[in-house]
Structure 1
Amino acid sequence: MSEIEASTTLLNRVDGSAKLQIKSTQIICSVTGPIEPKSRQELPSTSSLSVIVRPDVGVTSTREKNLEEKIRVILNQAIAGELYPRQNIQVTLQILGAGESKNYTVKELTGMVNCSYLALIDAGVALRFSFGAQCFTIGHDDVLVVDPTGEDLKISKSSHVVVYDVKEGKVDQLLYADSLGSFTEEQVYEVLGKAIKEVEGIHAKFREIIQTKVEKDYVWQF
């Protein structure tokens, strides 16, 4: 499992925030809401979701817009939007360090999914389940690499991101999978199988982070 460094409750003017670092990839996420939306965002029976991705260098491009749509697809499945009808939840993700070239987005997408989870928990937004993500590459020697470096990506023949939901500490269902490059059906199943153990390990780390936050936030004196 990847070495994850994370902290929560970093920003003052939002409802929840988190910072996450996995190797050279660093992401900070803020969550605001549920709040009253603009009229065009209002949905009668559920919440609307706004996702903004800001690059580490330069201005927002189609690359970040593509990432926003992927994050939106994942979070819409996880957030219990029916509890917040006619409200909006805003998720803003700032890339501090990509850890990969502009030709790839797998490390950033993985970091943003995991950082969003911690920020949503910090904001107290109701979720249907926990979730976690991990990325992989397959080299030209057909070796599967977990949480690849930027150099691993450059010499890979395919890259993959897998997101699972987690219930009671165990992976339940596949939420999202994104693969790019040349690979076989058997290799995809290998990636999905390996991701189960990886996501469960990441979720266990998240539990430790959240438990530490709760212990700091709620100190009871008798």
Structure 2
Amino acid sequence: MAVHHCELNFLSRSDGSALYSIGSTVALASVNGPGDVKKSNRNDFTTYIEVVYNPCTGQPMVKERVMESVIKRTVEQVVLGHLYPRTGITITIQEMQSDGLALATSVNATCMALLNSGVQMKSTFTGVTCCLTREGAIIIDPTEAEIQESDAVGTFVFENQGGELIAAQEEGHLDTATFATCLSRCRVAAKDVYAFYRRVIDSRYQDQLPQ
């Protein structure tokens, strides 16, 4: 696995934020809300989730819209929206640097930003990307160069409780057996990411303890 790094509360003007990197891919996620939402998006029973992804160069295209959709569906499954009816939560993700792991890095940045914001969730979540090489090997946290030389790429999003799969995105083709193997490898890797989450949160908490 590549090295993970996270800095919480990176932005002072948001309700929660996290700068997250996996290898050379870096994403900054910020959370604002729960707060006022326009009437057309207001729901009497839950909060409205909006996800905005901004690439480091150019305008958002189809790829970015797909990532927004994956992250939005993920957040909707874990945020306890019934606690915040008739409100909205906006998650903004800024790609700072990309080396092939934009979706996984953005998913993890989003989770940590939500934790930093104090929004209530039923569980945390993490994204892990792997690629299948032309020789049949599976690489966790591949670089852009490794992805370009691969036959397929999969990103899996897991809940921390039991490692349940809650979202997946595939590029290329993975047959059923290979998909299952990739899923299993990424689920194991997700446990290491959760351990990293805990270290980041513990460190943040320790920093706030009286000396």
Common fold: TM-score over 0.5: yes
Counterpart of 2:136 in structure 1 is 142
Q: Is the counterpart of residue 182 in structure 1 residue 176 in structure 2?
A: no
Counterpart of 1:44 in structure 2 is 44
The TM-score, its normalising length taken from structure 2, stands at: 0.96
Q: Is the counterpart of residue 80 in structure 1 residue 80 in structure 2?
A: yes
Counterpart of 2:159 in structure 1 is 165
Counterpart of 1:202 in structure 2 is 193
Counterpart of 2:93 in structure 1 is 93
C-alpha RMSD over aligned residues: 1.2
Find 1:132's aligned residue among 126, 140, 152: 126
SS in 1 for 2:21: strand
Offset from partner CA, 1:18-54 (integer Å, 9 cap, x none): 0011111000010001101111111110000011000
Cα distance in 2 for residues equivalent to 1:34 and 1:64: 24
What amino acid is aligned across from residue 143 of structure 1 in structure 2?
Answer: A
Counterpart of 1:16 in structure 2 is 16
Counterpart of 2:150 in structure 1 is 156
Cα distance in 2 for residues equivalent to 1:139 and 1:83: 45
SS in 2 for 1:122: helix
Find 1:193's aligned residue among 158, 181, 184: 184
Offset from partner CA, 1:74-110 (integer Å, 9 cap, x none): 111111101101110110000001113xxxxxx1110
Identity of aligned residues (%): 25
What is the aligned length?
211
Counterpart of 1:104 in structure 2 is none
Find 1:212's aligned residue among 192, 199, 203: 203
Cα distance in 1 for residues equivalent to 2:16 and 2:141: 27
Cα distance in 2 for residues equivalent to 1:137 and 1:32: 33
Structure 1 residue ranges (4+ consecutive) displaced by more than 6 angstroms after TM superposition? none
Q: CA deviation at 1:140?
A: 1.1
Counterpart of 1:103 in structure 2 is none
Q: CA deviation at 1:196?
A: 1.6
Say whether the 8 Å CA contact 2:129–2:140 is kept in structure 1.
yes
Q: CA deviation at 1:220?
A: 3.8
Counterpart of 1:25 in structure 2 is 25
What amino acid is aligned across from residue 112 of structure 2 in structure 1?
Answer: L
Find 1:109's aligned residue among 92, 103, 121: 103
Cα distance in 2 for residues equivalent to 1:63 and 1:143: 26
User: Which ranges of structure 1 fall in alignment gaps of 5 or more residues?
Assistant: 101-106
